[in-house]
Amino acid sequence: MEAGKIHFRPERIALDAFTKEVCGSLRTVAENKKIGMTVEITPDLETVEADPGRLKQVLYNYLSNALKFTPEGGNIHVLAGSEGEHSFRISVRDTGVGIPAEDLGRLFIAFQQLDASVSKKFQGTGLGLALTKKIVEAQGGRVGVESTPGRGTVFYAVLPREPIAVVQPA
């Protein structure tokens, strides 16, 4: 990835089982914090053609952040559904601390951590969201975030349902 080349190995993925498996890998963390975790895949999106390893990285990064910033007793909801005819959206909504509007633009930049007091409490490198953005954009997709301080955050990725040929910079 450092060289600007990302290789994808797309295959047909049953999104419901896949998403539940990724969530299951973090179930212990959620249980320890008494955080409820739900998965909802809309009926119009049973399968997608994607690289399972890369999609797992994206979902895992979003879930890890949600678990990190959601207080005990909170909730996390994963939702996947169609986004137009050729794309799908996968989002992770939490009831965490939320992010001030003025900080949203810095979230997907490598090594950026928003608040020194928060970063001391919640350890991290500041690379997860930057890596997520790189993976999603390399597939012709986009990432985004919506947040309300004190109420929670939604991180999402919009990806093509079928792989597209993306020309990598030389």
**SS3 string of the chain?**
CCCCCCCCCCEEEEHHHHHHHHHHHCHHHHHHCCCEEEEEECCCCCEEEECHHHHHHHHHHHHHHHHHHCCCCCEEEEEEEEECCCEEEEEEEECCCCCCHHHHHHCCCCCCCCCHHHHHHCCCCCCHHHHHHHHHHHCCCEEEEEEECCCEEEEEEEEECCCCCCCCCC
* Model pLDDT for residues 24-45, shown as the tens digit of each residue: 999 999 999 999 999 999 998 9
pLDDT at 167: 47
Q: Compute the half-sphere exposure of residue 87: CA atoms within 13 Å on the CB side of its CA.
A: 14
* All structural domains of the chain with their residue ranges: 11-160
- Token pair 């079928």 is found at 162
pLDDT tens-digit profile, the chain (170 residues):
444 567 889 999 999 999 999 999 999 999 999 999 999 999 989 899 999 999 999 999 999 999 999 999 999 999 999 999 899 999 999 999 999 999 888 888 865 555 544 444 445 546 789 899 999 999 999 999 999 999 999 999 999 988 765 445 44
- CA 146, 142, 89, 107 torsion: positive or negative? negative
pLDDT at 1: 46
As a whole number of angstroms, the distance between CA 80 and CA 116 comes to 33
CATH level 3 topology of 11-160: Heat Shock Protein 90 (3.30.565)
On whether the CB atoms of residues 111 and 129 are closer than 8 A, the answer is no
